[in-house]
Structure 1
């Protein structure tokens, strides 16, 4: 018996890919979407073979405003409802502002924030109609303060994602639970190019296990993994910007 249906965007790699595996292992059926359908279909075949769960896939570029609600509606109709939507698709591109790479920053902003907004709109259409649902937004520890250099735009988009979650919680939509997850340093395809050793970095399965545990508990907000990121999150919020600058 299925525990419900989880829709995960950006599921062809990184955190989204591993979340799909772990949710399936917990007994959920899956609606998976991403731009790279070859990898998505390979993941779906792997999960079906390993768990016997139902997995449906769809191509989706979250910056395509018309495609997002269409894909979400298609999944909703296929499964007869959605229990959880994980707004995960994102980019880690970026450059210091004013250095000639405005397109990289714009692409990050369009995917990470405008795309997240489109996903929230589409998910809430389903959840409002069925009178229940769990919306999960994947933010970042970088969202807690303004970041410098190549992180400036990325951090700003993730702060926007967290603000969307808080606004929806404040609205108190009947039957709706809203969670925002702030991952710390989790090794994934997005940061695989970083060669230097990073303190507190954990492997993908370990980091995602902490994310999935927080999501399953329907926490309003979670810094993951809890150690050391709960403490670091507190410090980031209270330290002067001059100190935060040296830490980041």
Structure 2
């Protein structure tokens, strides 16, 4: 659940959404580079927890939805300017973001961010910490006094630790967990977890009230019948926080 620091840059792009607001198709915007939340599979198609959740939300809301990808650091400006109609990209609900766009209720409960390093003997307060550009994790690192090393993609932050360019990486724990497990002991969690954000929600333009209400109703029904919990366990394991 990455936490975007809002960018002031915006691109003038065409719009087209659904519902009584005068649109036809809901375009679901995601990053496609943050497994298991969202990623491109071997066929080049958007996949992951959020693809499954988003498709189910659209089905329950009786909406026609299409998926598009957008780089993380411009994902909010391009929603506002009409490149797509929702953000479903591991985006935590924050007060800062809520000043620019609206959010549905969360479809992923609040969890921790964490540090991962190649050694237990690292200085998290005075060392070099890698984080993805334009995330609240990056903002948090600057407040600790550590030296922040930013990268455009999450994969580059992991590579920096492996290459010795950074002492640790700071990111969503649920993103880091499978990487640590697959590293065979090369990487490990260090320090204490840090709770950030208010869970992950779908970002929607402030003018698209009907769309937000339909997606909110879909999320509510998925929580009530257990479907959302089943998806959380499928993609994140039995230890994930459930509704």
TM-score normalised by the chain length of structure 1: 0.30
- Higher RCO (C-alpha under 8 Å, 6+ residues apart): 2
Q: Which structure shows the bigger proportion of residues in helix conformation?
A: 1
TM-score normalised by the chain length of structure 2: 0.30
